Structure 1
Amino acid sequence: MSPRSPLKPHEIVERALELSTADGCVVIADEHSSANLRWARNALTTNGVTRGRTLTVIATVDGAEGTASGVVSRSAVTADELEPLVRAAEAAARGAGPAEDAQPLVTGVPVSAHFTEAPAETSSEVFAGFAPALGEAFARARSGGRELYGFAHHELTSTYLGTSTGLRLRHDQPGGTLEMNAKSPAASGGHERSAWAGRATADFADVDPAALDDELARRLGWAERRVELPAGRYETLLPPTAVADLLIYQIWSAAARDAAEGRTVFSRQGGGTRVGDTLARLPLSLRSDPREPGLEYAPFLVAHASGDTQSVFDNGLPVGATQWMREGRLEHLVTTRHSAGLTGLPVAPAAGNLILDGGGERSLEEMAAATERGLLLTCLWYIREVDPATLLLTGLTRDGVYLVEDGEVVGEVNNFRFNESPVDLLSRATEAGRTEQTLPREWSDYFTLAAMPALRVPDFNMSSVSQGV
């Protein structure tokens, strides 16, 4: 075959492995496609479809002092650019010192049956049922005096992973997000109102724009009355999206090695980790499972680079279900094969999804109806870490904080800055609602596969008033 002939993804992987002169080689070909819709003021504004390819070559070189690795990633790689890419990875490996996380490359994983098939692709057809329903929602909003803004995004990535040890693995990952804002112009003497709703979806077949518009209209109605409240600790209902954003940051901070070295909230005083400790009074269980219906992800590890919670040497390692917390008790921290050896903990690859269950059956609305006085949040944003030793986070509320009195929403209150640790928050939660799939608003660019319940926290720390909307 001519070096300038177009190559299929699996052929690119095979060719790169053939070109390798390193002691070990891992090749990852990611074929990306995406489709999107955007709208403003009850009308579509833009739409588009994109395609792309990213190739990552990982070379390993055995030396007298240990094994070194070199990683090079490039986009839109053609056949005649393949050899320079492989050589660049090999040069990076030979110029690097021994890799601390070096392990033998993974072996013995069965070949994916569809490894040689063409990549899966999304297109504007994914919106075939959604777009007309969105148009109907525009008409309803217009007649109700509301303006809808937002976007829908769908992507599909086919990942082909091959190694010099014989692995040939393939996974297709779909992902879709929908975010919608409704705005109501200020009436005479009043204030402009805004509300947000979001959904995560694999294919948009389960998204109902009319239901979202109903939800937004209800929240705009709540905001007709404005109540100013001071900073302080309030009984607060955290919706599933807010719980997801907090627990995603928690799992990102759950590296076993960092904990064993005394640097995180999961470090045990006096040495070691807090695995085995009870973190929550409620029977809360947090888990990840690549085969969870509707939240599937690759059942093998794909690592484009090494870091605190992943290692390029672990590429292709089988991934199963992991119970991070079981009925309030910490069961696992994130480990690579290397950090598992250092800490004496089991291998537990980084989470591709997160499911929290507390055994509750009530919806967020039912929890609000059982609230004497408290705050109902819409979502959180601008979340940042303050103290890694306690995992203290700060951030802002956004697009609607509502006051609940005697089971009824009586008005919208001002936004707040909060200061909370998700680990401490779990220990204080007094009720968990029904677990449901949700879209994390803050981290939706990085992590969308989540199912969470609403949580009731009796003393959520609203540290100061925010002027944000």
Structure 2
Amino acid sequence: MSAELDLAARVIELIRRLAGAGAQAEVVAAHSAEALTRFANSAIHQNVADATTTVRLRLHLDGRTAGGSTTVTGPAGLQALVERTIAASRLSPPDQAWPGLTPPTALRAAPAFDEATAAAGPHERADRVRDFVRAADGLETAGFCRTSYHSAGFANTAGQAVEGRSADAAMDGIARLDGADGVARRAGSRLSELDGAALGTRAAAKARAGGRPVELPPGRYEVVLEPTAVADILDNLATFGFNGKAYAQHQSFAELGVPQFDPAVTIRDEPLGATLPFDQEGTPRDTLVLVDRGTTTAVSHDRTSAAEAGAASTGHAGAASRSWGPIASNLGLAPEPGGHAAPETGEGPTAASARTLVGGVRRGLLITDFWYTRVLDQKSLVITGLTRNGVWLVEDGEVTAAVGNMRFTQSYPQALGPGAVLGVGAEAIALPDRWSGVRYTAPALHLKSWNLTGNASG
């Protein structure tokens, strides 16, 4: 038994002793160790690391629910957590939506855990930063390399008791030349998978190709979106579209069993190996197919949204999922079946994952990245945002000019709708979320239409 599972079990025993046999409780004890190496002006300027063990308790007593947490994990700290959560439950309103507890259920088999990533120190991260900076060959660079390790134990009063651990690594960097930025980022379960030199070469090539941008008029353009832009689509689909609470409350575009997407689109959530093998309610995680060859087949659920929708939990409960809804955090869009990506080079702005698709564009745009994306209408998932880190005009299959950044207003499901996807890249790459340990796996996409609504001058 891990130290975390032992902590969770001790809290459950305290609940039984202090709250009585009728109490329903679930406990997650989690240890997180995260480390970050940041660089700017082509030099490392910060190394930070943090390790914390947190115990979270959710208690349902006499029809009322309350929660609490502590980082004080000694006997006195655990008892204080239980006592104040019992007191809070007596002051809470009746919880008519309480979904009950996860019954004893075995975990799914997960890929092997990488000890080297969990134990990585600043020197291993600095090696990758050095390689990135050197590969940029004199361009100004900035970014980060991070590693993280998580282990957790879960126990509840229904008898479910599980434990697991995960490791994660990510690198995100830019290169800059005369105001033009190029970006390259990757994520993985192993730090050894991150090649700083390859990422630096890619970022520098984009920056060098981004000089002297032209300005194009707003309008609908045929586009090739690189994986870094596709990751934003997946993020918003997961947060607002495939969210089980939004679905149950009819605030999502999702219609199960309906071909809402192009047949080239298959989207899965692949949590095993990327995160802990169970969620905050102790439900085992597994692959969840959300879109199968264009047809929406599922949304992500915790126990509350599943009960509301008449479904089963898919293992997506989080600390705030009853409030914000359960969100799939490891979405992947399947690449072209049987495809083989071209080798990565430092020539030009087009990454290997998008190179073949660019050759099929008559007149359109190659877009590297989106940022500052915001929802204008959740039901149809109309998003507004800006391009970033490189846009190029493509004519007759050739990149002909850099283009200034543009604003767009676009329904993401519509952009991927039936007949709207002209091509899918042969290689899907793992990409880190900018703010957390969330990971998206995406190929490039060739889309029939993208609504660009403004440019740098307004």
Shared fold (TM-score, shorter chain, > 0.5): yes
SS at match of 2:448: strand
The structural deviation recorded for 1:168 is 2.1
Structure 1 counterpart of 2:275: 297
The separation in 2 between residues aligned to 1:375 and 1:423, in whole angstroms, is 19
Tell me if the contact between 2:5 and 2:152 (Cα under 8 Å) persists in the aligned partners. Answer: no
Using the TM superposition, give the Cα deviation of residue 432 of structure 1 relative to its aligned residue in structure 2, in angstroms: 1.2
**Counterparts of residues 12-31 of structure 1 (less than 5 Å):** 12-20=7-15, 21-22=18-19, 23-31=23-31
Structure 1 unaligned regions, length at least 5: 1-6, 114-118, 187-191, 267-273, 303-314
Matched AA of 2:104:
G
Aligned residues of 1:285 and 1:327 also touching (Cα < 8 A)? yes
Structure 2 CA distance for partners of 1:205 and 1:368, relative to 1, 3 Å: same
* In the alignment, structure 1 residue 287 sits paired with structure 2 residue 274: no
Partner of 1:194: 181
How many Å apart are 1:419 and its aligned residue? Answer: 1.0
On the 8 A contact 1:368/1:408 being kept in 2, the answer is: yes
Q: What's the secondary structure of 1:299's corresponding residue?
A: coil
SS, match of residue 52 in structure 1: strand
Shift of 1:340: 3.3
Q: Are the equivalent residues in 2 in contact too, given 1:35–1:123 (CA < 8 A)?
A: no
* In structure 2, distance between residues paired with 1:27 and 1:346: 21
Any idea what SS the aligned residue of 1:16 has? helix
Equivalent residue number for residue 162 of structure 2:
169
Conserved? CA contact 2:117–2:168, under 8 Å:
no
**2:252 alignment counterpart:** 264
Please state how far the C-alpha of 1:387 moved relative to its aligned partner.
Answer: 0.6
Residues of 2 paired with 1:467 and 1:125: CA distance?
45
* 1:277 maps onto 2:255 in alignment: no
Gap change, CA 1:283 and 1:166, over 3 Å in 2: same
Matched, 1:138 2:139: no
CA RMSD of aligned residues (A): 2.7
Corresponding residue SS for 2:416: helix
**Structure 2: gaps of 5 or more residues:** 110-114, 317-327, 342-352
Closer, same or farther: CA 339–202 of 1 in aligned 2, 3 Å: closer
Q: What's the secondary structure of 2:228's corresponding residue? A: helix
CA distance in 1 between counterparts of 2:158 and 2:141 reads 53
Cα distance in 2 between the residues matched to 1:174 and 1:448: 12
Tell me, yes or no, if structure 1 residue 215 matches structure 2 residue 211: no
The answer (yes or no) to whether the contact 1:287–1:322 under 8 Å persists in 2 is: yes
Matched, 1:376 2:369: no
CA distance 1:28–1:223, change in 2 (3 Å): same
Q: What amino acid sits opposite 1:255 in the alignment? A: N
Q: Does 1:255 align with 2:221?
A: no
TM-score for the superposition, normalised by structure 1:
0.82
Residue-pair matches, total: 420
Shift of 1:152: 0.8
Q: Is the 8 A contact 2:173 2:185 kept in 1?
A: yes
Distance 1:289 1:149, change over 3 A: closer
- Alignment of structure 1 residues 48-87 onto 2, 5 Å: 48-61=48-61, 63=62, 67-87=63-83
Structure 1 residue matching 2:230: 3-state secondary structure: helix
Q: TM-score, normalised by structure 2?
A: 0.84
Identity rate of aligned residues, in percent? 27
Pick aligned residue for 1:96 from 92, 103, 110: 92
Among 286, 301, 311, the alignment partner of 1:320 is: 286
